Amino acid sequence: MIKRKLKDIQSMVKGKGLKEKNNDIYIEGVSTDTRSIKKGQLFVPIIGENFDGHKFIEKAIENGAVASLWGESHPVPDIDFPFIIVNDTLKAIQTLSKEYRNQLSIKIVGITGSNGKTSTKDILSSIFNTKYKTYKTQGNLNNELGVPLTLLSIDEDIEMAVVEMGMSGLGEIEILTKMASPDAAIITNIGTAHLEQLKTRDNIIKAKLEIVKGLKQDGLFVYHGDDESLRSAVKALDIPQEKHTFGENQSNDYIVEKLSADIDGLRFKIKNINSPEFFLPMLGNHQIFNASAAIAIARHFGLSFDLIKKGLENLELTGMRSELLKGDGFDILNDSYNSNPDSTKAALKTLNSLDTYDQRIVVFGDMLELGEEEINMHREIGEEIDFEKVDYLFTFGKLAKYAAEEAKKGISHERVFAFEDKSALINKLKEVLQNNSIILLKGSRGMKLEEISKNLLS
């Protein structure tokens, strides 16, 4: 994490107001949250829609803060405590992270995409760990505040960092990538997430491609080459950096071929680089595309096939993303961290491929932030359910019920249930659950479907 004297922090953020007697006070780390702040950290009070961090300065000091940035629009508290005055605390922490990143001897890989960002981050960091001291985005810290906190958490002896970059609108990834100055960048894919804000798929492509605006001149850009719209957009931008594509199509630089899939994971190879067979302990055929993007980056940074194989086999995933949970006579495929039509269809394909179970059940929750077409997109999921392979569909939420309506058009109503009460859903699920079953949980984070798995496993 960042460790600097306050006089250096003031210089880095172009602030003012620090008293000379406080110049040499040393901060170790930065926090915006008084609930988790640690002794010795710099407090940065952020202003949100429903809160103002400046109101919690006393709590920050009580919990160990040794100094604070302070927005100039707020009166400075009349206390003997080091304050650095800045125009805007959010912009200041972003500036601080950018300055700190520029002082680090480190290679950074930036990752964005509609789906697969976190899985790809986990895969790539696991590979890097076989050779380099590596840091990766923790949890979901991938927005305008999360990325600076990620950068400021990197220790100075770290050699590689994998930084996830999310967005909800145009212009956001440009800010993040210019902070991180990545040495390589990945676009995992382009889907329908954020249609509510961006309206069209072309706008989503435009937003994701902002990642190259911070990419170093000698950097590498890796993207999903099976997507013709993305290919065309990349060509139109005339990006000067080295570019590699991955996918199934023969025109890609990294052509991925699945060899086999079972409950333990996936076996695949990259056809056109004479690769060995790789084993990926993940569920879902789509994950081999995320792995191939990671392999392209790893090869660029000089990792051997042996190290790549080792990294894939030792993979540890961020929670609630295609995690297989073991129950008493049943398993749960928990993919409930996020959801949109593309990732839901991929999860259904994964479920359908698991043919060692006697019963398959889908629990589908609302997909949020889809915009004007949200009802039709939920109906599409209902159409997508293959009842030759799925025994029951349970929906949860006011939007997911449209998937149930659509599914009922072609199947017995006794196999489709729509709920807006989670307890009632759980009770019915327990009624139909048989031995050797698998339950897919898929829905947006806000639906909290993990509460279902906790109940079933308790």
What mean pLDDT is predicted for residues 186-191?
94
Q: What is the pTM of this model?
A: 0.82
Tokens of 148: 């600076």
Collapse the DSSP code of 261 into the 3-class scheme (helix H, G, I; strand E, B; otherwise coil) and give the result. strand
Indicate whether 85 pLDDT > 60.
yes
What mean pLDDT, rounded, does the chain reach? 94
Residue 319 has φ and ψ, to the nearest 5°, of -60, 155
Residue with more model confidence, 423 or 286? 423
**What was the pLDDT predicted at 195?**
72
Q: What is the pLDDT of residues 97-146, one digit of tens each?
A: 999 999 999 999 999 999 889 999 999 999 999 999 999 999 889 999 99
Give the pLDDT of residue 263: 80
> Does the structural domain 3-91 have CATH classification 1.10.3720.10?
no
Which two structure tokens, joined as six digits, stand for 402?
Answer: 């449209």
Tokens for 282, please give them: 């993940």
- pLDDT digit string (tens) for 198-212? 888 999 999 999 999
Task: Indicate the residue type of 410.
Answer: G
- Residue 139: predicted pLDDT: 85
Q: What percent of the chain has pLDDT over 70?
A: 99
* Between 23 and 261, residue with greater pLDDT: 23
Task: Write down the residue that tokens 């003012």 correspond to.
Answer: 16
pLDDT-above-90 percentage for the chain = 82
Crossing angle between the packed helical segments 374-384 and 341-353, to the nearest 10 degrees: 10
Domain edges within the chain: 3-91, 104-313, 323-457
CATH number, span 323-457: 3.90.190.20
Under the banding of pLDDT at 50, 70 and 90, the label for residue 31 is: very high
pLDDT of the residue at 410: 79
Q: Which residues are annotated as a binding site?
A: 113-119
Per CATH, which fold does 104-313 belong to?
UDP-N-acetylmuramoyl-L-alanine:D-glutamate ligase (3.40.1190)
Distance CA 290, CA 286 (A): 7
Lowest mean pLDDT among 28-42, 93-107, 190-204, 223-237: 190-204
What is the structure's pLDDT at 56? Answer: 96
pLDDT for position 321: 61
Place of tokens 């006579």: 329
Nearest Cα to Cα of residue 3 among 30, 33, 39, 31: 30
Q: Which residues are annotated as a binding site for ATP?
A: 113-119
- ∠ CA 178-179-184, nearest 5°, is 65
β partners of residue 3: 28
Each residue's pLDDT tens digit, 267-321: 999 998 989 999 999 888 889 999 999 999 999 999 999 999 999 999 987 665 6
Residue whose structure tokens are 């840091």 = 135
The confidence score (pLDDT) of residue 320 equals: 54
pLDDT, residue 235, reads: 95
Cite the DSSP H helix spans in 331-400. Answer: 341-353, 374-384
pLDDT of residue 134: 98
Residue 350 has pLDDT above 80, yes or no: yes
Q: Per-residue pLDDT for 386 more than 90?
A: yes
CA nearest neighbour of 444 among 363, 348, 390: 363
pLDDT for 319: 61
